[in-house]
Amino acid sequence: MMPTVMIRRTDTGALTFYVAKKDLEETVVSVETDTEGAWGGEVALADGSRFYVEPISPPPRFPTTVRCRRL
C-alpha cells in the first residue's frame, strides 16, 4: 500500500499524519531522520503503526503531502 499522506503541524506543535481516504488522523511520535538537512525515514505513529517516507532534503515546509509505505 502506498497511501498519500498529508503531514501537518497542529496547534500544539506536534506533527500529524492525515490520510483522507482512511480517516486516519494520528500523531507522529518519532521520525527516523529529522535534522536540518533532511526529514523522513521511518515514521512511528501514536497508534503503533509505522510508515516509511523517502527522506526529503532539505526538510519540507509543513503541511506537505507525501507518498509513504506501510511497514
Partner 1 sequence: MTRDDTKALIDEVLEVYPAKAKKDRAKHLAVGDPDAEQSKKCVTANRKSVPGMMTIRGCAYAGSKGVVWGPVKDMIHISHGPVGCGQYSRAGRRNYYTGDTGVNVFGTMNFTSDFQERDVVFGGDKKLDKILDEINTLFPLAKGISVQSECPIGLIGDDIEAVSKKKAKQLGKPVVPVRCEGFRGVSQSLGHHIANDTLRDWVLSNRDGDTSFETTPYDVAIIGDYNIGGDAWASRILLEEMGLRVVAQWSGDGTLSEMELTSKVKLNLLHCYRSMNYISRHMEEKYGIPWLEYNFFGPTKIAESLRRIAERFDDTIKENAERVIARYQPMCDAVIAKYRPRLEGRRVMLYVGGLRPRHVIGAYEDLGMEVVGTGYEFAHNDDYDRTISELGSTTLIYDDVTGYEFERFAERLRPDLIGSGIKEKYIFQKMGIPFRQMHSWDYSGPYHGYDGFAIFARDMDMTINNPCWSKLTAPWQRPAAAA
Q: Which stretch binds partner 1 (CB under 8 A): 30-38, 51-59, 62-70?
A: 62-70
Q: Read out DSSP for 19-42?
A: EGGGTEEEEEEEEEEESSS-EEEE
C-alpha cell read off for 45: 505513529
**Interface residue with partner 1, options 4, 14, 35, 47 (CB under 8 A):** 47
Q: Is residue 65 a contact point for partner 1 (CB under 8 A)?
A: yes
Residues in binding contact with partner 1, number by CB under 8 A: 13
Sign of the torsion formed by the C-alpha atoms of 7, 10, 13 and 18: negative
Sites of contact with partner 1 (CB under 8 A):
6, 8, 11, 18, 20, 23, 25, 46-47, 61, 63-65
